[in-house]
Amino acid sequence: MIIAANLKTNLTRKQTAEYVNKLEAFLNAHNSHQEVLVFPATSSLNSHAGKVIIGAQNAYPAKNGAFTGEIGVDHLDEFGIKSILIGHSERRHVLGETQESIAKKFNFYKELGFKIVYCVGEPLEVRKSGEKNMMEYLDAQYEGIDTSYESLIIAYEPVWAIGTGLTPTLEEIESLHLKLKEKSSAPLLYGGSVKLSNAQEVLALNGVDGVLVGGASLIVEDFSQMIIYAQDLEK
């Protein structure tokens, strides 16, 4: 299974190095074969050799250039980074990325062969407006995205569940995942308030190939335990 940590704007470079080293030691001690991805803050990116795959939370679709405040492929290459998170709800809704700019970024990093964790998810008012509207909203987040890209991982993350402690019911997660599976055969992660107390049951659901964890991933022991849950399920 795929267990991914979005560290967001947390953990300094030193703290991230400690985190990744602890996680790496844990994976080796448990002979883990789960796919473990960690997305640190941009200034905490660093080279890492081992089982943990380090990815960027964001980068501009350019090698380098006049894009103040952004980083490009050169900055990822410096650390051998070949994975990227695209379409996260905080980038869509807090930082204003449009589907057009997201698709452009997707296609740029796809051409470079990056592993892409592509996030989709609906705000609460959309969910409340009924299943048809919700599916149309999610459909629109697949516009311009090559759903058959071989290095694609999709993460379904309801916006209202991110960082709130709220989650859909297990039945709702399963049924939505089975619907999204009809759009793409890429591995499909669930994200949104996954924590130690619910990770095991979420991971066990049909159509769930892993989890993308924000807040709860900051505690490396908790995140490590989620990897054990995934391992025990042997999906």
| Least Cβ distance, residue 213 to ligand PEP (angstroms) | 5
Catalytic residues, which ones? 88, 157
| Three-state DSSP state, 83 | strand
Phi, psi of 44 (to 5 degrees): -105, 5
Helix axes 220-233, 196-203, angle to 10 degrees: 20
> What is the gyration radius of the CA atoms in the chain, in angstroms?
17
Nearer to ligand PEP, 192 or 210 (CB): 192
| Least Cβ distance, residue 138 to ligand PEP (angstroms) | 16
Q: Considering CB under 6 A, how many residues would be counted as binding ligand PEP?
A: 14
- Window 183 to 222, contacts with ligand PEP (CB under 6 A): 191-194, 212-216
Query: Are the C-beta atoms of residues 64 and 74 closer than 8 Å to each other?
Result: yes
32 binds ligand PEP (CB under 6 A): no
- Window 130 to 189, contacts with ligand PEP (CB under 6 A): 157, 162-163
Residue in 52, 35, 21 with CA at minimum distance from that of residue 230: 35
Nearer to ligand PEP, 61 or 215 (CB): 215
| Least Cβ distance, residue 193 to ligand PEP (angstroms) | 4
- In terms of Cβ atoms closer than 10 Å to its own Cβ (0-12, 13-18, 19+), residue 92 is buried
Q: Which residues bind ligand PEP (CB under 6 A)?
A: 6, 8, 157, 162-163, 191-194, 212-216
